[in-house]
Amino acid sequence: MGVAVGMFVAWGDVRGEWGACPAAAGYTLYAGKDIAHFDIASVSSVADAATKCNANPSCNSFNWNLALGLGYTKTVVYSAAQAASYADICFYAKGCSDIAGFTLYTDIDIPGSDIVKVTTTASAAAAQCLANSACKSVLWAPIFSPPYGFTKSIGYSANASKAYKVCMCKRLHMLIFV
């Protein structure tokens, strides 16, 4: 079972008193946590919440109440200082997702070397990078409202520095044999 509390969850679930917190691709799961208020809209399932949150640039997270079978999309970015413990609630924060053709590094940035700012999606930034031979990586910040990132002319290197809640995606190189 692919379980990771407080880390990026790609698959699996976390079992609690009220059952399982379902995984949501692209979101970090904080089982048993919630941040009150900051609600955007009610949701009917975890899948509905992820779909609505992904479609709304103001959405940074959502919760799901296992006992009541309801939840809310939220504007708040996860913060342990703001979070309270609730045995029956699953809290999901936007996180970094794997993108085909790139190696994902979380919480890393390489300052400078920006080519262009992208304000749509991480996938759109990756597509722009793949279309530009000078592009070596994409930096994406899913926690900002609206999320944004940069295509970069540098890949992962010794100049990398710690950066909170950002996704650094290094372009994979294709070898062509003739």
Are 110 and 87 members of one domain?
no
Cα distance between residue 114 and residue 134, in whole Å: 11
Residue finishing a domain among 30, 64, 94: 94
Which pLDDT belongs to residue 103? 87
- If you average pLDDT over every residue of the chain, what do you get? 82
For residue 132, give the CATH number of its domain: 3.50.4.10
**Domain presence at residue 165:** yes
User: Do 108 and 84 sit in the same domain of this protein?
Assistant: no
Domain assignment of residue 118, yes or no: yes
Same domain, 111 and 90: no
Alpha carbons 138 and 152: distance in angstroms, whole number:
6
User: Identity (one letter) of the amino acid at 23?
Assistant: A
Beta bridge partners of 168: 105, 139
Residue 25 is predicted with a pLDDT of 81
pLDDT of residue 145: 65
- What pTM value is reported for the model? 0.58
pLDDT number for residue 166: 84
Residues 130, 57 share a domain? no
**pLDDT tens-digit readout, 81-110:** 889 999 999 999 887 777 888 888 878 888
DSSP run (H or E) holding 16:
strand 13-16
Number of separate domains in the chain: 2
Domain boundary residue, one of 68, 94, 120: 94
DSSP 145-173: SS-EEEEES--S-TT-EEEEEEEEEEEPP
Q: Does residue 2 belong to any structural domain of this protein?
A: no
The reply to whether 164 falls in a domain is: yes
Residues 22 and 64 in one domain: yes
Give whole-number Cα distances, 126 to 52, 100, 105, 118, 153, in Å: 22, 9, 14, 10, 13
Q: How do residues 35-88 score in pLDDT, each as one tens digit?
A: 999 999 999 999 999 999 988 878 889 999 999 999 999 988 787 788 999 999
